Structure 1
Amino acid sequence: MSTVAGMSDKTWFGQPRGLTILFLTNMWELFSYYGMRTLLVYYMTKQLLFAQEKASFIYGTYTAMAYFTPIIGGAIADRWLGKRNAVILGGTIMAFGHFVMAFEPMFYVALATIALGNGLFLPSLPSQINDLYAADDPRRGRAYNVYYVGLNIGGFLAPLVCGTLGELYGWHYGFGAAGIGMFLGLMIYVFGRKYLPPEPSRLAVPAAELTGARATPSYTVWWLLLGVGIAATIFRGAYEQVGNTLPLLIDTGVDRVVAGFTLPMTWFQSLNPLLVISMTPLLLLHWRRRADAGHDTSPALKMAIGALIVAAAYVLLAALSAWAGDARIGWGWVVLFFVVLTLGELYILPTGLGLFAKLAPPRLGATTVASWFLAVFSGSLLAGLVGTLWSKTSHAGFFLLLAGLAIVAAILLWRLDRPIRSLH
């Protein structure tokens, strides 16, 4: 514990220096992921000439597999490789996969390679955050929101760089830029390792440790996490349309002309991470003031509120689609949609990741965090299936369906709030 405390004394921006290394690494990984994701549906429908239903299903399957492999990768990291080695090996495999995307005949091979590398990389990076703090450090609860801001810088830059290169100069230039981003993230991690927490032992956990701090039987924790994961799955079925069917609406159903200049469709994908960066400090200030006044909101209830806010965003989009009819929606309304959607996202997604890390059994940090990504896997797969309905129903009806999914998730999270609070 003294090592952790000593590391915490050396700070950047009031947080342990290792947090900066971790979010810069994930920032560039997100740059590569979102850069490729921004182009993926357009590339399949415009270059490979896939039908919309096929493109949506491939998109959903790929994003699902990218978040399924961390279940296996987290276990490998905890038991054999260690978190640091898993990050380096996984990042190297992902960088290779992104570069392979530049070659059209290797399309499916590239998607599989990125998904495999992501399995080692993704759970092993954020699971190191908890190790930077002492158990009673009050900064630990907010660290995941700070981390979320850092990595969303990559999500903001990706559509502007990769999207612009792909849309204006050629899809393969955009995919190549994504590969460069992944390589930069890997280099930051390698050269910043001295600021990271020491690698925990991967030996068997002593019985005394298992019966120590958390007296609640582990199966109760896993059942509650399963419930949160099911709610997150349903929520993701709606949320993940941001990268699936929403780009199709922006392409054909949104007036993108501003002062005679037509905004590239991929630029709209930068709105969400830009809003994450700008809104998070204000939201953290609001939450801290509530906590200081004794009105702190529990994690599950906070997630339920976020799901309802996202539902409201899709209701707005449904109303706009019904009102516009065959006309195009003004770009300003799309910006407003992203503002509401992002506010809800900030309530639910980083909170869910932090909740899984907080409830992790001893020395199963990467495995438990990987369980959160299992919900992302199943939610992405659901989003791919839901996305196939885009061309079979009206836009207003489709967005109301998404709002309904988010409301169901909110109700489930609300019901889980009391049993989760009883663990503390």
Structure 2
Amino acid sequence: MRAVLVLYFKYFFLWDDDLATSIYHTFVALCYLTPILGAIIADSWLGKFKTIIYLSIVYAIGQVIMAVSAIHDITDTDRDGTPNNMSVHVTLSMLGLFLIALGTGGIKPCVSAFGGDQFGEHQQRQRSTFFSIFYLCINGGSLLSTLITPILRAQECGIHSQQKCYPLAFGVPAALMVVSLVVFIAGSNMYVKAAPQGNIMLRVCKCIGFAIKNRFRHRSKKYPKREHWMDWATEKYDKLLIAQIKMVLRVLFLYIPLPLFWTLFDQKGSRWTLQATTMDGNFGQLTLQPDQMQTLNPILILTLVPIMDRIIYPLIKKCGLNFTPLRRMTVGMLLAALAFVAAALVQLEIDKTLPNFPSASQSQLKVINMGNTEIAVTIPPDAPITVGAVQASDDYLTFENQIITVSVGPATTTTLKLTKGMRHSLVIPSDPNSMNLVDDLTSKPQEGNNAIRFINGMTTMVNVTNFGSIGPSSVSDVFLVAQGKRTFNITNGVQRCEYSKDFGFGGAYTFLIPSTFTWAQDCANMIRAVEDIKPNSVHMALQIPQYFLITAGEVVFSVTGLEFSYSQAPSNMKAVLQAGWLLTVAFGNFIVLIVAEAVKIPKQWAEYVLFASLLVVVSVIFSIMAYFYTYINPAEIEAQFAEAEDLEPEDKETIAMDKRDSIQHTYENAKQTKM
């Protein structure tokens, strides 16, 4: 669903890029905030299995509401295509997205942890393979969705009239969510279902709160210092719980720099998709929609995960290099930074091809000569320009003043009032005294479509396919057509001719029917095409390097992070630490909101460079933090504490000495594998 979500905001609700991006990332952030709730429910009351079932039902209901929110009667719209009852559609969409965020967030910390529960401590290799397969399955679904959902969106459907089929794009995922839930429940008897451990989150919070309060209560020097600030909770809580909390806090501290990776990664569904709308998606026999470029991510993941797992990592190990999980994650962050450098370079190429639209204080004007003789036009303070018969001036003229004087030849002079921030065409017929000022587009046509219109220079009315009747010396309304070859039938009711043109992506054209138009001749060659906005010329293939780099970064960062979070978590806090990992994604999306709405960087390439630079700095900080992290085996530590709790006091002292020796030995070994 996320594949088309930002385009739904932009083209159905007609929100601008920044607002569409902000709402998109708000939704993604909510999806990764709610895992805390899911972890509490799973670990405290329902267990992972039931939590997945119940919140998947909420998830499916949200998808259904999203599909309903996209249904509207095209006849009940404003002139710009916006539904008159837009507030209802927005309300339903936000409700649907909230339920989806609640559902998907609730099951996120449970699904991977539930899978990990199926393996014993002696099956670490199998568990590691599972997490890779788990990630492959996720991205297999992502591959199908990013291929199919944009196709469903592009279908024509609607009530009374045809429109982009967002209800189908949202409805199919809703149906598949129901199917997947049925399949999951069908395997119930085959699963290992760990019982909930009680309200572990509440116990953890109370223990941490008591330790802090107790520490400040005994601030005086007469109280001896303790090895760790959590040790101030020993008066009330058992040492096993305190040891488990220490394990979790050590990992959560490492997570502090991680949100910035997700800040960059999740923009492939927003900024990068919007970037693709200004590019050429023609790949010969295949034409890609802007949102379909996201298919590169799952395709590359399905390729890179087994390559990394079976070839690259073993090869690095054979070379004698200790490529620890935290080292992998650092490399992943640097690869993501390089991806945004590549995106910035692509954006610079796109910017070179974009029209120079007027600022809020400027106006622009193009001259179109519909007469059959060349004319000289003077618009002070610019130098005179010559416009050939049935042609347009080469480019738009820019004016700071809105009142201008136009002279056509020596005899005709008129005063025109332009509109600030607008583009205009001055249509001059054979009789210059009948010149006409019309508005032009001030942005690229949406969704890679082409904006076209016809000007009838004849003295009789004509009919053009999709445009209806165009009166003498009149300009038609603007009509949008998709990429590809389009044929227009032009007729006066008696005679007829065909005009064909191949369209690219994102162009705007004015077709001139001259006053000398004769049906007996090859009329198609008599029609002149004026290019108001050049079509997209930067090819979508240039996005491939940035997708490759961000996906390679994801493979070594995210897959490793999932396994690291599980392996370093105490037995009763697996889902809690998974939720903490997912929380970094939420914070990463909030950073995008700050930049998109608060910072408002005018140049998109500069925003990409800013994100890349920040991630490089954060990568250095993370590598320093990782250097001082010591890998542990939570099961061994928990076993030692549990054993000590069951012994007599004198035996506990012996166990404690052995434990210190064991921990020291573990520490010395871990130093060899430090980041």
Give TM-score, length-normalised by structure 1.
0.84
Q: 1:86 is matched with which residue?
A: 51
Q: Which amino acid aligns with 2:152?
A: L
Aligned-pair CA distance for 1:391: 6.8
**Match of residue 96 from structure 1:** 61
Q: Which residue does 2:173 correspond to in 1? A: 178
Q: Does 1:258 align with 2:302?
A: no
Greater CA drift, 368-377 or 317-326: 317-326
Letter in 1 for 2:259: T
Match of 1:31 in 2: none
Evaluate the alpha carbon distance shift between residue 181 and residue 229 of structure 1 in structure 2; reply closer, same or farther with a 3 A threshold.
farther
C-alpha separation between the residues in 2 aligned to 1:237 and 1:201? 33
Partner of 2:558: 349
Within 2, Cα distance between the matches of 1:161 and 1:190?
26
Superposed, 1:126-205 pairs within 5 Å as 126-137=112-123, 138-169=125-156, 170-203=165-198
Pair 410,101 (structure 1): closer, same or farther in 2 beyond 3 Å: same
Instruction: Name the structure 1 match of 2:270.
Output: 244
Q: What CA distance in whole angstroms lies between the structure 2 residues aligned with 1:399 and 1:203?
A: 45
Aligned equivalents of 2:14 and 2:255: distance in 1?
Answer: 35
Q: Deviations over 1:68-121 (max 9, x none)?
A: 111011111101011100000011110110011012221111011111112321
Matched, 1:281 2:268: no
One-letter amino acid of the counterpart of residue 166, structure 2: W
> Is residue 59–residue 103 contact of structure 2 (8 Å, CA) maintained in 1?
yes
Q: In 2, Cα distance between the equivalents of 1:188 and 1:291?
A: 39
Moved more, 321-330 or 303-312: 321-330
8 Å Cα contact 1:309-1:341 kept in structure 2 = yes
- Deviation track 1:150-183 (CA, whole Å, cap 9, x = no partner) reads 1100111112122210133311110001112211
Which amino acid is the alignment partner of residue 134 of structure 2?
Y
Superposition map of 1:263-412 within 5 A = 263-285=288-310, 286-291=312-317, 294-327=320-353, 328-388=537-597, 392-412=601-621
Q: Residue 123 of structure 1 aligns to which amino acid in structure 2?
A: P
In 1, the alpha carbon distance for the partners of 2:348 and 2:118 equals 50
SS of 1:53's partner is: helix
Q: Is the 8 A contact 1:303 1:352 kept in 2?
A: yes
CA contact (8 A) 2:146 2:295 kept: yes
The answer to whether the Cα contact below 8 Å between 2:3 and 2:269 also exists between their aligned partners in 1 is yes
* Alpha-carbon contact 2:44-2:196 (below 8 Å) kept: no
Per-residue CA shift, 1:210-240, capped at 9, x if unaligned? 867x9x9444433332333222211111111
| Distance in 1 separating the partners of 2:154 and 2:258 | 32
Q: CA 1:258–1:297 in 2, change beyond 3 Å: closer, same or farther? A: same
- State the shift of 1:331 in Å: 2.0
Could you tell me how far 1:390 is from its partner in structure 2? 9.5
Name the one with the larger helix percent.
1
CA distance in 1: counterparts of 2:314 and 2:285, whole angstroms: 44
Is the 8 Å Cα contact of residues 300 and 417 (structure 1) preserved in structure 2? yes
Q: Does 1:67 align with 2:32?
A: yes
Rounded Cα–Cα distance in structure 2 between residues aligned with 1:186 and 1:92: 8
Are the structure 2 counterparts of residues 224 and 407 from structure 1 closer, same or farther at C-alpha, using a change threshold of 3 Å? farther
Q: What letter matches 2:99 in structure 1?
A: T
Whether the 8 Å contact between 1:52 and 1:388 is mirrored in structure 2 is no
Bigger CA drift: 264-273 or 195-204? 195-204
- What secondary structure does 2:258 align onto? helix
Q: Hey, what's the Cα distance between the residues in 1 that align with 2:135 and 2:301? A: 8
Q: Distance in 2 between matches of 1:51 and 1:318?
A: 21
Give the number of the structure whose residues are more often strand, by fraction.
Answer: 2
Report the counterpart of residue 220 of structure 2 in structure 1.
none
Structure 2 partner of 1:110: 96
Cα drift, residue 261 of structure 1: 5.0
Structure 2 counterpart of 1:30: none
Structure 2: how far apart are the matches of 1:346 and 1:268?
18
Say which SS state the counterpart of residue 34 (structure 2) adopts.
helix
Which amino acid in structure 1 is aligned with residue 104 of structure 2? N
Q: Is the 8 A contact 1:74 1:367 kept in 2?
A: yes
Q: CA deviation at 1:326?
A: 2.6
* Alignment match, 1:22: none
Bigger drift between 80-89 and 284-293 goes to 284-293
Cα pair 1:236 1:383 within 8 Å, conserved? no
Letter of the 2:273 partner, please give it. Answer: P
SS of the aligned residue for 2:629 comes to helix
Is there any run of 5+ residues in structure 1 with no aligned partner, and where? 1-35
Alignment partners' CA distance in 2, 1:277 and 1:390: 36
Cα distance change on mapping 1:168 and 1:386 into 2, 3 Å: farther
Q: Is the 8 A contact 2:343 2:546 kept in 1?
A: yes
2:144 is the counterpart of 1:119: no
Give the direction of change, closer, same or farther, for the CA distance of 1:176–1:335 in structure 2 (3 Å limit): same
What percent identity do the matched residue pairs reach? Answer: 24
Matches within 5 A, 1:7-46: 36-46=1-11
Which of 1 and 2 has higher RCO (CA within 8 Å, sep 6+)?
1
Range moving further from structure 2, 329-338 or 277-286: 329-338
**TM-superposed deviation, 1:246:** 0.9
* CA 401–168 in structure 1, closer or farther in 2 if over 3 Å, else same: farther
Note if contact 2:274-2:290 (Cα within 8 Å) is conserved in structure 1.
no
C-alpha deviation, 1:58, in angstroms: 1.0
Question: Displacement of 1:420 after TM fit?
Answer: 2.5
CA distance in 1, matches of 2:572, 2:631: 23
Distance 1:119 1:324, change over 3 A: closer
What is the CA RMSD across the aligned residues, in angstroms? 2.4
The worse-fitting range, judged by mean Cα deviation, of 275-284 and 375-384 is 375-384
